[in-house]
Structure 1
Amino acid sequence: MKRPANIIWLLVVLIFASIAAVSCGGDGTSEQEPTEPPAATPTAAPAAAATSVPTAAPAATPVPAAVGAVQKRLRVLAAVDRENNDPVLGLVHQTPQYHGTVFETLFDDDENFKMRNMLATDWSVTPDGKTWTFQLREGVPFHDGWGEFSAKDLFHTMQRYTREDSVNATLYNMHNMVDHVEIIDDYNVVMDLPDPFLDALAQFSGLQVSDIVSKDYFDAEGQEGVNRKMIGTGPYQFVERVLGSHVLHERVDYDHWRIKPDFEEIQIFIVLEPSTQLANLLAGEADLGRLPFDLQGPAIDGGLKIIESTIPSTTVYAIFGGNYSLGELAHEELQEDPSLFNPDFPWAIPGENGRKVREALNRAVNREELKNTVLGGRGQVMPVTFYLPFLNGWNPEWLETFEDDYGYDPVRAQELLAEVEADRGAPLDWTNARYWLSPRPELAEVQDVGEAVANYWQAIGVPIQIEERELAYAAEQFFARKISGIAWTDATPFRETDREQLRIIYASAGCCEFYSDDVVNQNYQTFLASVDLAERDQILRDTGNHLYEQYATVPLVALNVEFVINPDVIAEYKTSGFRPPRLLEYIKAVK
């Protein structure tokens, strides 16, 4: 990704100028990465001829008006580098972009992130949180005549998501549930679990991409059939996929139980390069996409419109790598190899000195300046990473104290580092300190944000080296807990459940372990054992208070997702922005 050097250079100048002023007294099964759309044979016969995406168009070309009362085909741009028709093999941040209108789940969130029934019509859970009962929707057909959805398809889906080659986000929890399923009849299922689990609604929703697949189709066609064609229950059915080019879906020709979409077809183009996306939109050959902030101006000048998600669903933050717990609840990787934790690295020093270092690095960052330059004035304060006002565990007092506790103060940052060195009787050892820059599909500017943060740290005397890394490599090292002394900036959706927020992000039991200690790990164990919603909410809040006080991460901003639309084609698109673009079937057409 090409980063605007002028913005970064401006930030470097501003950072050092600010410190100088203050110091002077101021304050498919194919997983190939597509290049050009190939002249490939479609995987199924198209209902209508597919249009290819052009590679260039004049930047000043206005968007042509839609012809007729309602445009037949909605054309959407998706920046995905992994293509497949099997949701089991799909990455959670990419699959919804081209599977979401074909497959359905037991539950799903609406445009305001409120859970609703989908293929389940009712549910109950026992007071101990261990036994769940689901009543399934009757009379819902799978596409192409592959029978009606029933309990056997739910169980088959759970089995497939726990395959060894599954990369779906549901894998961890499904493993703990699949052996405890009892099918009462075709439309009633009971799960009698060994431990309390209150997140079943989210687990079987689009938030976890728990797409229901057909057992009859798999039994008849096998994995080859699943690779060849998507068979779901959604309001659109699969027509074709041309690798490196597009996926085409068409509206089902019967009364769907849920909705009759305005558009007869949805064509999802695979386009990775932002400038090409802009060209497609300006040429009127795409109707919906997402663009980097610096390309939105030309889009607006060309007659396009910017719309926002209903909630701030993208969180932007920096991570201090290697802040692990070595207590009795430590992750097995740390138990086997304690050397993965370096207690002498400055931000991982145990106790008050480590906290002071992390405070210094937080105070070194001018969040307001960063927001107004790299992010174009976008974003709201996020005092604790992944904690937002509409989620459980929120503490409004954080907003009142955030400026005092986290506000930009490079002089105080330098004083804190000096205090730690004086207490330890030696200079801080920043050997091999690195700041990794990796791209993220959720925010085109994430590497620019990371470079700015690293520059702020360098400005207070922290000799951190900036390195660009592919996301796959960075994630691999991250999950293996081999990132001591490495920081990076990320932009991801907030976690879809309270449990996942603690497990995945902070507790040692999870994959990521941004920051863990005995307090975090004990809170997580208490949370798991509780079935009292008020108690769980308080545990989350207590954990958030602890993370806030420990400067566990560098929380930056929470952003609404922004979409670029053709206003002559799209009248309304309401979505939470969680794993975008989703809920495409609800887009209202201009009539």
Structure 2
Amino acid sequence: SKAQWDKEGQEGFEKRPAGTGSYRYAGRQPGLSVSFERADGHWKGEKPAFKELVFRLAREESTRLALLLSGEAHIADLPRELQKDALARGMKIYSSSFPVDWMTVYLGGQYYMPGDPAFKPDVAWTKKPVRQALNMAINRKELLSTVFAGKGTLTYVTGWSEKSEGYNPEWASRFDKMYGYDPAKARALLKEAGYGPGQLKFKILAFTEPGESEGPQVAESLGIYYKDIGVETEIQVLDWAKVREMFRKKAIQCCMWPNIISWRPSEEWIRTSYYSKSPNHHYENEFVDKHYDALTRAVNPAERQKIARTIGDHLFEEFADIPLFWFANEVVANPKVVGEWVYPGLAAGRSTHFHLVKPAK
């Protein structure tokens, strides 16, 4: 807070930053851990069951599993392929109450604002039939089953869940006809756009992040699906920081990339991903900018709902990207320590509301 900064400066902020949560900062070991302690006498009356909360920083997935199994950690974020190992050793999965993450494949180079020098008309997916073809080439049911162990639901428009402002239930009923798996239709759409077998080539970028280990597997699956419709692909594994730099600098016309992103309100998601003045550049045009500006000025709930749905409808009709799946957040915990954890997941991070973690009885 400003009052604390004026009184204590940087040193005071480092020792005890101001906050309102039911856990307060207690210290850290740089690169290793961050510690919190229960804020007794909390202004809202919250009293977490556990007195201390320590976040161990462990980037390697196998390290997180080892910490959990050894008892050095009681809750861990593990990829799906390691969850089964933890379950076999008596651990338990806790899931968020709502879907919190979605996976979408983004298509670089969709910069349709008039006069944008980054727009290259020779990028294949600037043609709408190509975007639809790349959607219809994917067997989403198979992909969900094989890579994600069936844990997920379809995403119809990137970023919109049923709880989102502007969600249109018609997207679900129309999805199969417009986006559903149909390799023959995909080949016909490519032919309509002027691409015969072997004539369309591009890169698929893949990266991994904690809680997002499936990127390379999804990239490989996409390569197989696209080969089946006569498209040649090259998979390139990069650091997330490099991929982000490329799309922020509008230097990613070469490529598509799958990404997992956490839920946020519709207005914020539109600003983040589709508004031309955002630092991110996924798909942008005058239509989206005009309606986003209107959304930011609207206060009437019905009007806001209508505007947000108009933007979502536009993205759906234009095949702006390749929406795949929604996922609940999952963590693995030691049931001898953690008895219950009910949390929504819809907040600033995937795992939230740590004050609701209950001890085992």
- TM class by shorter chain equals over 0.9
> For the residues of structure 1 that align with 2:59 and 2:355, how far apart are their CA atoms?
23
Give the TM-score taking structure 1 as reference length.
Answer: 0.58
1:314 Cα deviation (Å)? 0.3
Instruction: Identify the residue that residue 111 of structure 2 maps to in structure 1.
Output: 324
Do residues 286 (structure 1) and 55 (structure 2) align?
Answer: no
- Does 2:282 match 1:514? yes
Aligned to 1:397: 170
Provide the C-alpha distance between the structure 1 equivalents of 2:56 and 2:230, rounded to a whole number of angstroms: 46
Give the match for residue 583 of structure 1: 353
* Alignment partners' CA distance in 1, 2:257 and 2:139: 17
Paired with 2:272 and 2:49, the residues of 1 have a C-alpha distance of 38
Does the aligned pair in 1 maintain the 2:102–2:159 contact within 8 Å?
A: yes
Residue range with higher mean Cα deviation, 359-368 or 399-408: 399-408
Separation in 2 of the partners of 1:359 and 1:443? 26
Separation of aligned partners in 2, 1:521 and 1:231? 37
Over 3 Å counting, the alpha-carbon distance change for 1:507 and 1:282 in structure 2 is: same
Q: Unpaired runs of 5+ in structure 1?
A: 1-152, 157-214, 328-334, 349-353
What SS does structure 2 have at the residue aligned with 1:464? strand
Measured on the aligned residues, the alpha-carbon RMSD in Å equals: 2.1
Residue from 130, 138, 141 that aligns with 1:365:
138
The answer as to whether partners of 1:575 and 1:582 remain within 8 angstroms in 2 is yes
Tell me whether 1:342 sits opposite 2:111 in the alignment. Answer: no
- Structure 1 position 288, deviation (Å): 0.8
Shift of 1:522: 2.1
Distance between the aligned counterparts of 2:318 and 2:124, measured in 1?
14
Alignment-derived partner of residue 333 in structure 2: 565
1: CA distance between counterparts of 2:36 and 2:297?
A: 44
User: Which SS does the other structure have where 1:475 is aligned?
Assistant: helix
- Are the equivalent residues in 2 in contact too, given 1:271–1:277 (CA < 8 A)? yes
2:72 is the alignment partner of 1:302:
no
Give secondary structure in 1 for the equivalent of 2:258. strand
Question: Does 1 or 2 have the higher relative contact order (CA < 8 Å, sep 6+)?
Answer: 2
The percentage of aligned residue pairs carrying the same residue is 34
Q: CA deviation at 1:297?
A: 1.2
Contact 2:100 2:329 in 1 (8 A): yes
State whether residues 267 and 308 of structure 2, in contact with CA within 8 Å, keep that contact through their aligned partners in structure 1: no
Contact 2:132–2:186 under 8 Å retained in 1: yes
Residues of 2 paired with 1:272 and 1:526: CA distance? 42
| Cα gap change, 1:453 to 1:241, in 2 (>3 Å) | same
Q: Is the 8 A contact 2:61 2:210 kept in 1?
A: no
Deviation at 1:249, TM superposition (A): 1.9
Q: Would you say the 8 A contact 1:355–1:551 is kept in 2?
A: yes
Question: How far, CA to CA, are the matches of 2:42 and 2:162 in structure 1?
Answer: 39
Contact kept, 8 Å, 2:198 with 2:231, in 1: the verdict is no
Structure 1 527/429 Cα, relative in aligned 2: closer, same or farther at 3 Å? farther
In structure 1, how many angstroms separate the alpha carbons of the residues matched to 2:323 and 2:338?
A: 35
> Following the alignment from structure 2 to structure 1, what is the Cα–Cα distance between the partners of residues 94 and 124?
43
Deviation of the 1:253 alpha carbon: 4.5
**Structure 1 residue 555 corresponds to structure 2 residue 288:** no
- With 290-299 and 522-531 compared, the bigger mean Cα shift is at 522-531
Cα deviation for residue 407 of structure 1 reads 1.1
The Cα offsets for residues 91-119 of structure 1, whole Å up to 9 and x where unpaired, read as: xxxxxxxxxxxxxxxxxxxxxxxxxxxxx
Aligned pair count?
359
Q: Summarize the Cα distance change of 1:308–1:518 in structure 2 as closer, same or farther, 3 Å threshold.
A: same
**What CA distance in whole angstroms lies between the structure 2 residues aligned with 1:370 and 1:418?**
25
For 2:298, the equivalent position in structure 1 comes to 530
Per the alignment, residue 61 of structure 2 pairs with 274
Please list every run of 5 or more consecutive structure 2 residues that lacks an aligned counterpart in the other structure: none
Letter in 2 for 1:479: R
Could you tell me which residue of structure 1 aligns to residue 261 of structure 2? 492
Report the structure, 1 or 2, having the larger strand content. Answer: 2
Partner deviation per Cα, 1:441-469 (whole Å, 9 max, x = no partner): 34221232233223322332222221111
The reply to whether residue 417 of structure 1 matches residue 195 of structure 2 is: no
Contact 1:345 1:429 in 2 (8 A): no
